[in-house]
Structure 1
Amino acid sequence: MKITFKGNPITLEGNILEVGDSAPDFLVSDNSLAPMGLKDTSGKRVFVSVPSIDTSVCDMEVRRFNEEATKMKDVSIYLISMDLPFAQTRWCGNAGIEAVKTVSDYKDRSFGQSYGTYIKELGLLTRAVFVIDENNKITHIEYCEEVTKEPDYDKVLQALNI
């Protein structure tokens, strides 16, 4: 898999996953700095990995997923980045983001390693989307080929059967 950042090749570290795999566990921090992992989530879930919530493309992506989340029942959307929980909370408050839950991988890089999204050269997470079903099976994955481009929202929604 070839992934680029502003046209330059990058190296992803961790486990590259495929549709049908069981969703691996991870350890991230929620906005109160409490640990959170796969076991703390349930139902249909979307894990959205982004480099930094405070950039223009990530801003558009989070706003779009927040908009879609307000229309969904029984689907949880988690945004994972290396941003500190304090910055995530501040940004979401300023942007009016309420339907997407932000969590941070800053401490252990556990999500990045478990889901193959850690960018070695930048110390950030790549842009990727994982749809997980009620049985913890991955039903959709998109590792965006260019980190500065948004994911295919229609395919994510289709994977959720919405």
Structure 2
Amino acid sequence: MRTLQTTFLLFIITFSLGVFQIHAQNDIFEKLQEIAIIDQKVMMPMRDGIRLATDIYRPKTDKPVPVIFSRTPYNFNSWGDGEQKTRTAEKAYEVVQRGYAYVVQNERGRYYSEGEWDILGIPLTDGYDAFSWMKDQPWSNGKIGTLGCSSTAEWQMAVAALDHPSH
């Protein structure tokens, strides 16, 4: 009997945590929608015709704003991976609240982005092309900073060497 009670209690706790997580996700998405214009799965073109899946979160303003850009091999736009999606929304909220656009992009060949993924390195021209595309958008003031850790940080160091005028 005790095992059945323990199992039931664990089920209730797990279910409650799941409901809490869904509620927390809904809260951050609602807060984000109040302050941001959200464009998801924008297919940003690269010079070779490949398009990279990009989500754009920007302040509800007519004035051009600076951009914080993050490129990642992780699936930031999957409903199945609630924790990662919530972290993306939390970061977007934090950035937009401070007056910046937040742009997050899947690397070439990852998830919704076209092309072939290479674990040893994607073309650095993708970063340069992304900077050029973002600086030309009417919502951008042409100033772009990058953000991220792990493989995203490695990419940032490499693309910094290309010395794009907007970076």
Identify whether the pair has TM-score above 0.5, normalized to the shorter chain: no
Q: TM-score, normalised on structure 1?
A: 0.31
| Larger RCO, structures 1/2 (Cα 8 Å, 6+ apart) | 1
Q: TM-score, normalised on structure 2?
A: 0.31
Structure number with higher helix proportion: 2
